[in-house]
Amino acid sequence: MARIEGRVDADGPMRLDRYIADVAGILTRSQLKARLEDARVNGKAAKLSREVKANDRYELSLRDEEDRADLAEDIDLSVLFENDSVIVVDKAQGMVTHPAHGNWSGTLANALLGRLTRAAGTDAPARAGIVHRLDKDTSGVIIAAKTAAAQEFLAAQFRARSTVKVYLAVVQGSPPADTGRLDTQLARDPRDRKRFAVSPEGTGKRALTEWRVLARSAGYTLLALRLYTGRTHQLRVHCRHIGCPILGDPVYGRKDARFPDATLMLHARELRIVLPGEADSRRFLAPVPDRFAEVLRRVGMDAVVDGAGSG
């Protein structure tokens, strides 16, 4: 039996199951429905349909996942940091974060479950302890918890947007200024439901990104992108919105004559977050990947690789 507890730190009111799935990101609604044994809000028994508001205290008792062991796989990971509470990895490009239709194996969650179940006495928390995600084709730093308590501690920081997340992107063209800020709404593209697009005020969800130019050369720009909100495809949509699609983006970009075989040039370079039991934030850096180094070398921006995105 797994137990999850925490305090609502989002505006309300909203249904308890919506908060857990859509805001806290601890479990999906289907997982909640399948595994919930008992739910309490402010110490009283509650249904998943109960409305919660800021500062309400919730407690969930969940049945263990019967197929948890079947999901565990022995997959090598590039570990940047690990202690008794958390593990920080440099996710490879092409690795899916969570199992889903068409990707039931080989995911980061499968790898984490395999690693944690091999450790004596370790019981992996829900969703393999993952509290944020990276797209399949985005590489870089991602943190996961080893216990339910650590998972809630980390997740609370992502909900409060107190973490610092910086990405590197090689984009086509050049933005209108050396620094900038995009504060828009994002919603499904009405012309293509598989894509997202900047939407009119009052629709979609708020998406906030800041950019900083690190180098320019020959029709390409290396950007440091600070992500304040974690909307699906946010950085890819925002780069396209300023007229600089990310090189190698098959959905929002355009074919590039010089780099026709480029894969998505987006990398989660830096994460700053407070770890359980500590008072000050730690800073984790994922090395600049080889695919970036090669492109930057060919366009004459390789001198900025070592310090790219830091500071």
9/89 same-domain check:
no
> Is residue 135 annotated as a catalytic residue, yes or no?
yes
210/288 same-domain check:
yes
* CATH of residue 34: 3.10.290.10
Q: Which of 17, 56, 90, 135 is catalytic?
A: 135
Task: Tell me if 172 is assigned to some domain.
Answer: yes
123/210 same-domain check:
no
CA 38 vs. chain centroid, Å, equals: 29
Rounded distance between C-alpha atoms, residue 87 and residue 64, angstroms: 22
230/300 same-domain check:
yes
Q: 135, 158, 181: which is the final residue of a domain?
A: 158
Q: Which pLDDT belongs to residue 188?
A: 87
124/238 same-domain check:
no
Rounded distance between C-alpha atoms, residue 48 and residue 31, angstroms: 12
133/154 same-domain check:
yes
CB 171 within 8 A of CB 296: no
The first and second tokens of residue 51, run together, are: 């409305």
Q: What is the pLDDT tens value at each position of the chain, 311 positions in all?
A: 678 888 887 766 889 988 888 777 777 777 788 788 999 999 999 999 999 988 899 999 987 655 454 588 889 999 999 999 999 999 999 999 987 766 778 999 999 998 887 764 556 677 788 999 899 999 999 999 999 899 999 999 998 899 999 999 999 999 999 999 999 999 988 888 789 999 998 888 899 999 999 999 989 999 999 999 989 899 999 999 999 999 999 999 999 999 999 999 999 999 999 999 999 999 999 999 999 999 999 999 877 766 565 54
Contacts of 102 (CB under 8 A, 6+ apart): none
Rounded distance between C-alpha atoms, residue 55 and residue 42, angstroms: 9
How many structural domains comprise the chain? 3
pTM score? 0.79
Angle at the Cα of 21 (from 17 to 24), degrees rounded to 5? 110
Rounded distance between C-alpha atoms, residue 277 and residue 85, angstroms: 9
Q: Which pLDDT belongs to residue 1?
A: 63
Task: Tell me if 15 is assigned to some domain.
Answer: yes
Q: Which pLDDT belongs to residue 259?
A: 97
Convert 135-153 to b/e letters by CB count within 10 Å (16 or more is b): bbbbbbbbbbbbbbbbbbb
132/169 same-domain check:
no
Q: Which pLDDT belongs to residue 3?
A: 81
93/56 same-domain check:
no
Residue 224, domain extent: 164-304
**Residues pairing with 60 in the sheet:** 4, 39
Task: Tell me if 309 is assigned to some domain.
Answer: no
Contacts of 135 (CB under 8 A, 6+ apart): 233, 264, 266
Strand spans (E) along the chain: 2-7, 14-15, 36-41, 44-45, 51-52, 57-62, 79-82, 86-91, 139-145, 164-172, 179-189, 192-199, 205-217, 220-227, 266-274, 281-285
Rounded distance between C-alpha atoms, residue 288 and residue 169, angstroms: 11
